[in-house]
Structure 1
Amino acid sequence: MTTLYGISNCDTVRKARKWLEAESIAFDFHDFRKQGLTAEQVDRWCAAAGLDKVLNKRGTTWRQLTDEIKSTTDETALKALLVEQPTLIKRPVLEMADGHIEVGFKAEQYAALWQR
């Protein structure tokens, strides 16, 4: 089953959900603010898409972190931070039944996924 990860009040997540629904694509929604995440999920996403793409350095949560945390290059510490504060993750994360992972949403990008 395809799973869309994000937070319910995120505009980009809403757009992705509407697109999937309009295309009649079955998916589960996982609100990682409410339901949390595991280190294994974050590891899988970072392995597939790269930590730089998964970690959202443009959001409010990132800007509120201390300079010491923002300057770290320790991947293990950053991944632990993503589990602890999932709003640091770029949204949405789409995990398809075949294991493919997409970070972010663009309608063209999603359309291409179902035409491959």
Structure 2
Amino acid sequence: MSAAPSILSAIAAGVLLAGCSASVDVGTSTPKLSADKLATTVAEKLAATTGQPKPDITCPEALAGKVGTTTRCTLTADDGSTLGVTVKVSSVEGDEINFDIKADETASPAPN
């Protein structure tokens, strides 16, 4: 039996994580968090909050370290269903980007 429904229900319950952060390499005036590092950080935070295994998260782009910047990531469950996750920069302190994570309330079913 797949754990996908329990993972998605735990996360889709409106998970809002405030105060997540990640340090980045600053090669320009605006720090950026790579798409891979962002996905890993989001997955770790969601797993810690829900008590579920680390989910499969993909983010399409790097997150610019500018307050108010947002990006959308996707959580894909074992059964192929997906859940959108919004990441929004709340503050930037040097090379550390602080962001909030908000999961959508409903998941999209797996494609047939």
The TM tier, using the shorter chain, reads under 0.3
TM-score by length of 2: 0.23
- Larger relative helix fraction: 1
Give TM-score scaled by structure 1 length: 0.23
**More strand by percentage:** 2
Higher relative contact order (CA 8 A, sep 6+): 1
